[in-house]
Structure formats: C-alpha cells, structure tokens
C-alpha cells in the first residue's frame, strides 16, 4: 500500500519523507488556502521535494475551464496529478486530459457507480471519501470494498486512493480490503506507531536499563 500525505504544509511533508512514509502528496484548494500561499508556487515546491505523485486540484466547475486549468497544472512538474471533481464536467475533463497522457485523480467519490464512471473515463486514481460517509451514518469502508470488487471484476487499472481518512483503523481496514493508496493527514499516519502496550513495555525497559546501569555509547 502506498501512503500519500494529505497536506500543503511543506515542513510536514519533509518530516514524513524523513520517516519514509511519503509515497506522494494530495492537496486541494482548501489545504492550500490554509497555507496562505499561491497555489502554483506551493505546488511547484512540493513537486520539487517529492519524487512521487502530487495531486493538484482545479478550481473551475465547467469542463472547458477544468481542461485548461489541468493543462496549466500539468506544466508545473512531471509528477503532477490533475485532480478533478466527480461531476459530469469533471468526468468529461478526465476523458480529455487522460487521453492526452495526463494522470488524473478523480475526487469527491461517494458511490460505486461514480467510481465505475471514473474508471471508464480514464482516471488514474479514484478518491472515495470514507470519513464523510461515516459522518452521515453510511459505512465508508463498504464503499472501498465495493469499488475493489468492481475494479477486480473488470480489470480496471484505476487505483483506489482511499481519502477522508480520520483514524488509524481506517488505514488498516483499507489495507485489508486492498486499497492501492491511502491519503491521510500527517498526524494520523504518525499515530499508527502508537500503542499503549508499546509505551508500557518501553517504560519498563527504560527502568530496567537505568537500574542495571547498562550503556552502549
């Protein structure tokens, strides 16, 4: 499973790279707005830092403008993935841009039918939103499982990029289902290393070392 970091904070991305937990980055206008920086400038900086895919999202709603914005974003760097919303206009733009050889991340997916249309439109990635479905009492992980089944049934190469990850359990459950990628905030990814029994065991270990006066350096 690939880990994408869902942020536009370059310091946070650098930390995740140092840890070895950054196979790519996803951004969106909301995340970039929080950074207070120009969208093209911050996207270029992230692309220069990261070897893997960097999703950069269009802001237009009509297909013609989405296509032009997508082409402009793609010129920033070779590892840019154009991020489009899952609307009919977004799917039309996906078809055009993917046929030109651009990588596309179709986002805001909330149903298996939407995911099927994205695959048929040539999407490189589909981003189903787990947490937002959970928020309205629909099991988000069921959607990941449904998409996995459909894509496997028909041999679609579109990768499942599980998004709106809220908890570490979301990540492990997506891994068991077979999602190709997860994208999550840095804090959630780092929290995967935490366990109360690890902390308890380490505390006892440290006490024993101090009592025995053991040193290596």
Angstrom distance (rounded) from CA 121 to CA 189: 31
Q: By the 8 A CB rule, do 125 and 107 touch?
A: no
Residue 148 has pLDDT above 80, yes or no: yes
* Amino acid 29: pLDDT: 84
Angstrom distance (rounded) from CA 191 to CA 135: 21
Residue 28 has pLDDT above 90, yes or no: no
> Residue range 80-108: average pLDDT?
98
Cα–Cα nearest to 126, from 153, 105, 144: 105
| Three-class DSSP labels, 156-200 | CCCEEEEECCCCHHHHHHHHHHCCCEEEECHHHHHHCCCCHHHHH
Angstrom distance (rounded) from CA 165 to CA 154: 27
Annotated catalytic, 83? yes
Cα–Cα nearest to 91, from 130, 58, 53: 58
CA distance readout (Å), 197 to 194, 201, 202, 209: 9, 6, 8, 18
* Amino acid 120: pLDDT: 98
* Amino acid 39: pLDDT: 87
Residue indicated by tokens 């206008």: 29
* Amino acid 33: pLDDT: 83
pTM comes to 0.93
Element (H, E) at 55: strand 54-57
- Active-site entry in 83, 103, 176, 215: 83
Rounded to the nearest integer, the mean pLDDT of the chain is 96
Residue indicated by tokens 């999550």: 184
Chain CA centroid to CA 85, Å: 14
* Amino acid 30: pLDDT: 84
Rounded to whole angstroms, the maximal C-alpha distance in the chain is: 71
């Amino acid at each position: 499973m690939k880990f994408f970091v869902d942020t536009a904070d370059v310091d946070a991305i650098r930390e995740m790279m140092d840890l070895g937990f950054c196979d790519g980055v996803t951004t969106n206008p909301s995340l970039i707005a929080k950074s207070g920086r120009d969208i093209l400038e911050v996207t270029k900086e992230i692309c220069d830092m990261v070897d893997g895919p960097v999703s950069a999202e269009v802001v237009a709603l009509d297909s013609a403008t989405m296509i032009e914005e997508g082409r402009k974003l793609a010129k920033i760097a070779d590892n840019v993935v154009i991020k489009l919303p899952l609307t009919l206009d977004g799917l039309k733009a996906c078809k055009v841009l993917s046929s030109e050889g651009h990588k596309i991340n179709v986002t805001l997916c909330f149903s298996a039918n939407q995911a099927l249309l994205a695959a048929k439109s040539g999407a490189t990635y589909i981003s189903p939103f787990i947490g937002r479905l959970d928020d309205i009492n629909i099991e988000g992980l069921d959607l990941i499982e449904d998409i996995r089944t459909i894509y496997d049934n028909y041999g679609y190469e579109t990768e499942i990029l599980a998004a709106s990850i809220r908890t570490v359990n979301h990540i492990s459950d997506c891994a068991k289902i077979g999602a190709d990628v997860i994208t999550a905030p840095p804090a959630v990814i780092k929290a995967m290393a935490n366990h109360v029994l690890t902390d308890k065991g380490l505390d006892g270990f440290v006490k024993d070392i101090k009592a025995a006066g053991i040193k290596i350096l």
